[in-house]
A and B are shown apart, each in its own frame.
Chain A
Amino acid sequence: MKRRDFIRNTALTAAGVIGMPYILPTGRLFAASGARLVNHVVFCLFAGGIRNLESVQKAEGNLMRGLLSGNESISPDIANSIANLPAPVNSPLQGSGTLFKQFRYLNGPSGHYNGHTTALTGRYTDNSLSLLERPPYPTLFELYRKHSTPDKSALNAWWISHTNELYPILNYSTYPGYGPLYGANQLSPTTFFSGTGYQAFGNPLQHNAATQLELDKMKTFLNGGFKGSGSASNSGISNLAEDQVKIMEFMDTMFQQLAAGQHTNPWGLGPGVMNGDMRNVFYAEKVMQEFKPELMVVNMFGVDVCHNNFTQYCDALRRADWAVNHLWNTIQNTPGMANDTVLIIAPEIGRNGTENSIKDQNGRGGLDHTTDDAMSRELFGMILGPSGVVQQNKVVNTVYGESIDIVPTIAKVLGFDTELGVTLPGKYLQEAFI
């Protein structure tokens, strides 16, 4: 029996025996669905802080040939310091949707966590936002899971974060009535599926079906007799028993592929080209192919190197752009998601208009994002989708759209906007849709 089948059989047997009939969070099993535009949304937070100057305004040439049309050559002083990438797998993505060139992050500190929180809650933040605490308002994931009909299990909502520090806690909020019951499956794959991760998690004790059944009976027996008043309150989000089996099976597959060297250079790029952003998107694609979630958010962060190296910022921007182009290609080649997915792309914040004192190898000054100036609030946005749903090859050059509009737009696309129990300050980005 294959290892994968083995795990599935044993765990499913166990789940079938010990699993209580699952009552979905709101107690609803079937109810009228809201009108959906498509059945899947992927939101790519093109994060780390990107100025419009280097992205859609192409001040250094077209650094984003995966997203933007045009062959503007890269500034000669930095061109030789940038990795040689093959042509993107798809034609420029702006042809498959609507590009907002004057998107805005209008309020709140221009910090990464503030920008992420705003994009994922649909609300601007202020200086009271703690970096160590979960968002104070419901996240996109919770709104989707709590207000969709029929109810959605956690397997439908994924938060693929570039790091396992700080950002994982964006998978649910502290808002009363929401929380872990409606949170997303969070995964920081570049840490988990690593050499160290494999040593720690890649070779678990396994049991045959009969033994697993017996062990689960033992656990049920022990838990039944446990009278402690403490609760497993820090247990995070919880998947259905059968979904946990699927996730463990997925993890096992990833570890086996990792051990076999299949994740070393899976996109066939040059040695050392695949950076953290690309790897995060690669694993997001794996999650997508395996679970076909209705809602997935994946972020990138490499461009933040700009604090001390402008040239590497441009290089990271190109790699991130290449990765998003690949992501769209994978969506369109994944049965169940092709032609039924809206992809939304936006940075979380911009960067300062003026450079700092750190010069890179080409004499370019670094850029922070600390002054909350106008340039740090100017973003771009892109919405891609089927031609019958999303306006194709459209460019909105006027100031239109804000970070807080992404959550209500996703709510509308996935049809839970009419069931929201909370009022969101943002608006549906109608300009992008038919």
Chain B
Amino acid sequence: MKKLLSVLFLVLLLSSCRKEIENIYAIDPVYVSQSGQKNNLKSDIQFVSIAYSDLFGQQISAQELNALLAGYNSVGDKALVIDLIIRNLLVKPGIIKSTQQEMQSDPDAFIDATFERFFVREASEMERWYFTNSINANSQLLPEDIYYALMSAEEYRHY
């Protein structure tokens, strides 16, 4: 009986002190490699909201959104007014941006980060080469200029 109790105690001891396995689930960022996967046009509100978030890293306030949409609805040529919206957002204080020195010292990294930020995909080899070449050839280019080029491209109107 004493032997049986010892075995039972040993079994209980081993089973109660088992190390708990912690399962962690996460999603790694996956960037599409082709712009062709974006087939849906952003609505006006989506466009303005996303543009603001992409630049400032935070959600646009209702007041600012209303001001931009009021202007958007006041002009018939939407391409023109969207260009104005982007240009005006790019000069507002608070946008998250690289410095010109950072951009020029490592254009590849800057291009990769900028494409991921605005197009939510990796830059293709061709795009990386083109933009790197352009940055190297034009010393006056600023990071916000590259942001402007991407944000005013047709791809940025889609998701």
Contact = CB atoms under 8 A, between A and B. Distances in A.
B153 A197 contact: no
Contact of B79 (A183, A188, A232): A232
Interface residues of A, number: 56
A265 B85 CA distance: 28
Contacts of B127: 222, 225
Contacts of B83: 248
Contact of B148 (A164, A183, A205): A205
A131 interface: no
Interface in A227-258: 227-239, 244, 247-248, 251
A195 to B, nearest CB: 10
Interface residues of B, number: 53
Interface in A145-201: 154, 159, 164-165, 168, 171, 183-189, 191-192, 196-197, 199-201
Nearest to B76: A186
Given A219-B152, A228-B154, A211 B87 contact: no
A218 B154 contact: no
Interface in A279-325: none
Given A222-B155, A227-B35, A232-B154, A192 B74 contact: yes
Nearest to B40: A230
B153 A226 contact: yes
Interface in B64-103: 64, 67-68, 70-71, 73-81, 83-88, 90-91
Nearest to A239: B77
Nearest to B140: A211
Interface string B24-49: 00000000001111111101100000
A203 B71 CA distance: 14
B141 A211 contact: yes
Given A188-B75, A200-B85, A215-B145, 19 more contacts: A168-B74, A187-B74, A187-B75, A188-B73, A188-B74, A191-B70, A200-B68, A200-B71, A201-B85, A203-B91, A205-B148, A206-B87, A217-B134, A218-B130, A228-B37, A228-B38, A230-B38, A231-B41, A244-B80
